[in-house]
Structure 1
Amino acid sequence: MSRYTITVTGQGRSDQDAVIGYDPPLRTYFLQAFPHEETDEPRLWLGTHDRAFETLGYLRHAATAHGYDFMPLPPKLAAKLVDDKAAASGRPVRDTILGQVLKHLNQPK
């Protein structure tokens, strides 16, 4: 399972210790943010069942539907997340069209 720290904003708050990642057993991207004061469970926890969010776009759509956002992700982090999913499925991403786009985004300007 991959886990990366990001900032999630929404509903007048910001969580700079939110976590985004890919869960291979569940085959989904996930997002956790805003720990509950009493239980330490995240108030926002998306991606808890099989194939809940097969793309980062679907995950972002669900986050915005709950009143939160985590965009823009740095291009290198987005590439890592896509690579994590590809590695879990056994497919190389760098040779695909998406891989070429991500490679272009990561080139120094």
Structure 2
Amino acid sequence: MSRYTITVTGQGRQDPDAIIGYDPPLQTYFLQAFPHEVTDEPALWLGTHHQAFEALDDLHHAAAAHGYDFMPLPHDIAAKLIEDQAAAGDRLPRDGVLQELLNRLRDLG
């Protein structure tokens, strides 16, 4: 899983320590920002389901729908994210118990 620090803005605030990355097992980009005031979970967490965001544009549109923005991404981070996704595509398909669990989770989502 890749993780890069970026700044996310929106709803009158900004998080300069937000995390964007690519999760190979879930085959999705994800975004985590704004530490929740009560729990340890991020208040904004997108990309928690299998193939939720297969393109950075999809993740950006979802963030915007929630009132947040992370564009423009620094060029080096955008390039690394695309490389991370491409490298994950080179992995052999999963099978067995883990794949069955992921399939069930995807079907529920």
Does the TM-score normalized on the shorter chain lie above 0.5?
yes
Q: Which residue of 2 aligns with 1:30?
A: 30
Q: Relative contact order: is structure 1 or structure 2 higher (C-alpha 8 Å, sep ≥ 6)? A: 2
Correspondence 1:89 to 2:79: no
Correspondence 1:42 to 2:48: no
What are the ranges of 5 or more consecutive residues in structure 1 without an aligned counterpart? 92-109
Correspondence 1:9 to 2:37: no
- CA distance in structure 2 between the aligned counterparts of 1:37 and 1:25, rounded to whole angstroms: 29
Give the letter for the 1:74 counterpart.
Answer: P
Q: Give the total of aligned pairs.
A: 91
- CA distance in structure 2 between the aligned counterparts of 1:23 and 1:40, rounded to whole angstroms: 20
> Per the alignment, in what secondary structure is the counterpart of residue 50 of structure 1?
coil
| Superposed structure 1 runs of 4+ greater than 6 Å apart | none
Q: Which residue of 2 aligns with 1:18?
A: 18
- Report deviation, 1:45: 0.3
**TM-score, structure 2 normalization:** 0.82
Cα RMSD of the aligned pairs, angstroms, is 1.0
- CA distance in structure 2 between the aligned counterparts of 1:19 and 1:42, rounded to whole angstroms: 10
Q: Which residue of 2 aligns with 1:65?
A: 65
- Report deviation, 1:62: 0.1
- CA distance in structure 2 between the aligned counterparts of 1:13 and 1:41, rounded to whole angstroms: 18
- Report deviation, 1:75: 1.1
**TM-score, structure 1 normalization:** 0.82
Correspondence 1:54 to 2:51: no
- CA distance in structure 2 between the aligned counterparts of 1:20 and 1:74, rounded to whole angstroms: 12
Give the letter for the 1:57 counterpart.
Answer: D
Q: Which residue of 2 aligns with 1:96?
A: none
